[in-house]
Amino acid sequence: MIQPNTHPMQSLQHLSRLYQAAPVAEKNTTDRGWSGLSINIANSNLLLPTSSVVRILRMQNLPSPSRLPGSPGWFSGLVSHRGELIPTIDLQQIMEAGAISSPSHAKLICIRSSQGVTGLLVNQVTKLRYFSKHDAVSRGPAFPSMIQKLLAGVFRQEDSYWGILNLKKLNAHIDQQMGKNA
């Protein structure tokens, strides 16, 4: 949890550490296969492992994020939910696909790690999707380069491809972006 009177860069470094212990997609398997929460960024179908999703909140039901002075644009701020401060990242913007179109109508996907909860701000959550090991493919379509760098793998069902977002790679990208803002 971020303490009051903490320097903004220390708060962002804390946010970055939240991802370090996040489970990778390969651990998200069950007897029924792999499950993920589907989102769409830059016209790319992406999946977040359900094992790391704590809850999904509607931003319209929450107070506006409190921005931290000097924080980068992709850091939306801190959102208070039931007495907990949730560091919030505009997932679309950190993936270099522009800012969320309507932040007040966005969804906040809360991700758990060993150090707390972080919110990923997205335009829309499509639905929960299930995949079998036979749906995994070694190559998919060309995802935008930034998204491609953050993928753990790809599934294919019918004529659609789904990239699995690797939270550890996302963490490394956040660390890199924080270094640019230091």
Domain at 93, CATH number: 2.40.50.180
- Contact assessment for residue 38 and residue 125, using Cβ atoms and an 8 Å cutoff: yes
Residue 37 lies in a domain: yes
Positive or negative, the Cα torsion across 85, 91, 92, 96? positive
Residue 3 lies in a domain: no
Q: What is the largest CA-CA distance in the chain?
A: 51
Question: What domain count does the chain have?
Answer: 1
- 111 vs 3: CA distance, rounded Å: 20
Residue 156 lies in a domain: yes
Residue 144 lies in a domain: yes
- Contact assessment for residue 77 and residue 1, using Cβ atoms and an 8 Å cutoff: no
Residue 131 lies in a domain: yes
The pLDDT assigned to 160 comes to: 92
Full pLDDT tens readout for the chain, 182 residues: 555 555 666 666 655 555 443 444 444 555 568 999 999 998 899 999 999 999 999 999 999 899 999 889 999 999 999 988 999 999 999 998 988 888 888 999 999 865 678 999 999 899 999 999 999 998 888 899 999 999 999 999 988 999 999 988 887 888 788 777 65
Residue 2 lies in a domain: no
Domain interval for residue 48: 8-181
The pTM (predicted TM-score) of the whole model is 0.78
Positive or negative, the Cα torsion across 171, 181, 116, 111? negative
Residue 120 lies in a domain: yes
